[in-house]
Amino acid sequence: MPKDCRGLEMTAASDTAVEAYDLTIRAYLAFARDTGDRLKAAYAADADMPMSHCLKGYFFQLFSNPALHPKADQALAQAQSAADARGANTRERTHIAALAAWRAGDLRKATALWEAILIEHPRDILALKLGHFTHFYLGDAAELRDSVARVLPCWSESTPDYGYVLAMRAFGLEEAGDYAEAEKAGRRSVEINREDSWGVHAVAHVLEMQGRAKEGIAWVADLRPSWSKANNFRFHVSWHQALFHFEREEYGEALALYDGEFRAERTDDILDLSNAIAMLWRLEDEGVSVGGRWDELAAIAERRSDDRVLAFADAHFAMALAAGGRAERAAAMAQAMSAAKAGGRVTEAPILRGIGAALAGAILAFRRGDFAAVVERLYPRRHEVRDIGGSRAQRDVFARLLIRAALAAGRPKLARALLAERAARNPNSAWTWKRSADALAALGDAAGAAAARARAARLLAA
């Protein structure tokens, strides 16, 4: 039986077919633009390899776009019939079962099946990477970290694609708050392979969470020749660069990256959309005029406002609708989220009905200036926001929204408390100290407000 480059048995017509499959996996890990062509080459070498069909189904699912669900279903059916015809092994059959669970919207079952594969086959990098994706969208930072930790002893620097595993390790550590170890693993992954955009990105997250914006700008700029070769993931790295500029109040630079890079193409990919929506929201919040930029985002959000695939995406659609003058549609969406049914979305339905709908309601209330309602909806449930998934840096837009609302609703003591929580996690954010100054001024503490403002000024000048 042919084996993949890490020694896993593959049901395939030839070694050549498995080599083409390996290259497809590597392209996926690298966010390579030719990933689709690599898969075609695998099909050309073996038109009915069970794992090629399964991988194709996975790729369609990764878009989190209901328009691609029929294609994913077709790939799943092909994988099942190829496995029956050829007698696929247990690992391959478990992958196919995971795809079926994912198609049923049962992200937790799919994830459990990938993790079960990894217990038996710690070098199944596809299972590892897909688990990384679902742990991310389930907001499960501990599993993002530990899933990789469990397999790492079975890898070494000489195992093919080890660097990609280290990059996943780095990102998991970062999301779990272990910034020092995350930075070490991330920098090593980039030393091993400068083209590893996930490793570049993991270190960018560490720098973001620690308020090291200047270093972040340099880090992303130095590695631009590598990550700019990536598929649309390059837009997300560019978004991180804009986020560093945003933190330094260099709003012109952030907007230039928006127009010239991460929103230069008006795609409807959910990562691309969330980059754009969250950046415009942050900029407007600081009083920056964003012109007519909401229009195209709101139009796409309206088209996709019945998706209900990921609460993370839906929350961003609600932001674009509310900010882009389509409040009625946003209100209908919040209503529909609160009534989300389990059919086809086993895992997400309760999240949509709970924190998803609450968040959409808070977003709408914020836009219509009902700040007390924002606080009422969001403050008691703010820790649940992690359940919509995404990174800490991405979800920070909602943390800022609550603080702004507390200040605007005349709740400076609450704002002060939330800002203290924030400053304890990251004392290097100028925004945090400026808002702290606002809260302290509202409480009549002029000296405290002046000190907080001075601290923000020092950070910005550094």
What is the closest distance, in whole angstroms, from the C-beta atom of residue 34 to Fe ion in the complex? 23
Q: Give the x-and-dash track for 338-377 against Fe ion (CB under 5 A).
A: ----------------------------------------
d(CA 396, CA 404): 12
Pick between residue 240 and residue 416 the one whose CB is nearest to Fe ion: 240
d(CA 457, CA 46): 62
Q: 138 and 389 in contact (C-beta within 8 Å)?
A: yes
Pick between residue 204 and residue 440 the one whose CB is nearest to Fe ion: 204
Pick between residue 391 and residue 436 the one whose CB is nearest to Fe ion: 391
Q: Contact region for Fe ion (CB under 5 A) — 15-23, 24-32, 100-108, 383-391?
A: 383-391
What is the closest distance, in whole angstroms, from the C-beta atom of residue 205 to Fe ion in the complex? 6
Pick between residue 221 and residue 454 the one whose CB is nearest to Fe ion: 221
Pick between residue 373 and residue 393 the one whose CB is nearest to Fe ion: 393
d(CA 278, CA 263): 12
d(CA 266, CA 269): 9
* Residue at shortest CB range from Fe ion: 391
Q: Give the x-and-dash track for 302-341 against Fe ion (CB under 5 A).
A: ----------------------------------------
What is the closest distance, in whole angstroms, from the C-beta atom of residue 275 to Fe ion in the complex? 9
Pick between residue 134 and residue 391 the one whose CB is nearest to Fe ion: 391
What is the closest distance, in whole angstroms, from the C-beta atom of residue 74 to Fe ion in the complex? 31
What is the closest distance, in whole angstroms, from the C-beta atom of residue 136 to Fe ion in the complex? 10
3 state SS for the chain: CCECCCCCECCCCCHHHHHHHHHHHHHHHCCCCCHHHHHHHHHHHCCCCHHHHHHHHHHHHHCCCHHHHHHHHHHHHHHHHHHHHHCCCHHHHHHHHHHHHHHCCCHHHHHHHHHHHHHHCCCCHHHHHHHHHHHHHCCCHHHHHHHHHHHHHHCCCCCCCHHHHHHHHHHHHHHCCCHHHHHHHHHHHHHHCCCCHHHHHHHHHHHHHCCCHHHHHHHHHHCHHHHCCCCCHHHHHHHHHHHHHHHCCCHHHHHHHHHHHHCCCCCCCHHHHHHHHHHHHHHHHCCCCCCCCHHHHHHHHHHCCCCCCCHHHHHHHHHHHHHCCCHHHHHHHHHHHHCCCCCCCCCHHHHHHHHHHHHHHHHHHHHCCCHHHHHHHHHHHHHHHHHHCCCHHHHHHHHHHHHHHHHHCCCHHHHHHHHHHHHHHCCCCHHHHHHHHHHHHHCCCHHHHHHHHHHHHHHHHC
Pick between residue 78 and residue 391 the one whose CB is nearest to Fe ion: 391
Q: Contact region for Fe ion (CB under 5 A) — 275-283, 289-297, 384-392, 398-406?
A: 384-392
Q: Contact region for Fe ion (CB under 5 A) — 324-332, 387-395, 426-434, 443-451?
A: 387-395
Q: 88 and 50 in contact (C-beta within 8 Å)?
A: yes
Closest Cα partner for 272 from 230, 224, 333, 218? 230
Q: Contact region for Fe ion (CB under 5 A) — 4-12, 45-53, 364-372, 388-396?
A: 388-396
Q: Contact region for Fe ion (CB under 5 A) — 170-178, 243-251, 318-326, 390-398?
A: 390-398
What is the closest distance, in whole angstroms, from the C-beta atom of residue 240 to Fe ion in the complex? 6
Q: Contact region for Fe ion (CB under 5 A) — 33-41, 114-122, 168-176, 385-393?
A: 385-393
Pick between residue 226 and residue 391 the one whose CB is nearest to Fe ion: 391
What is the closest distance, in whole angstroms, from the C-beta atom of residue 391 to Fe ion in the complex? 5
What is the closest distance, in whole angstroms, from the C-beta atom of residue 44 to Fe ion in the complex? 35
Name residues contacting Fe ion, limited to 25-84 (CB under 5 A): none
What is the closest distance, in whole angstroms, from the C-beta atom of residue 281 to Fe ion in the complex? 16
What is the closest distance, in whole angstroms, from the C-beta atom of residue 164 to Fe ion in the complex? 16
Count of residues engaged in binding Fe ion, rule: CB under 5 A: 1
What is the closest distance, in whole angstroms, from the C-beta atom of residue 304 to Fe ion in the complex? 21
Pick between residue 103 and residue 205 the one whose CB is nearest to Fe ion: 205
Pick between residue 305 and residue 391 the one whose CB is nearest to Fe ion: 391
Pick between residue 189 and residue 391 the one whose CB is nearest to Fe ion: 391
Residue ranges binding Fe ion (CB under 5 A): 391
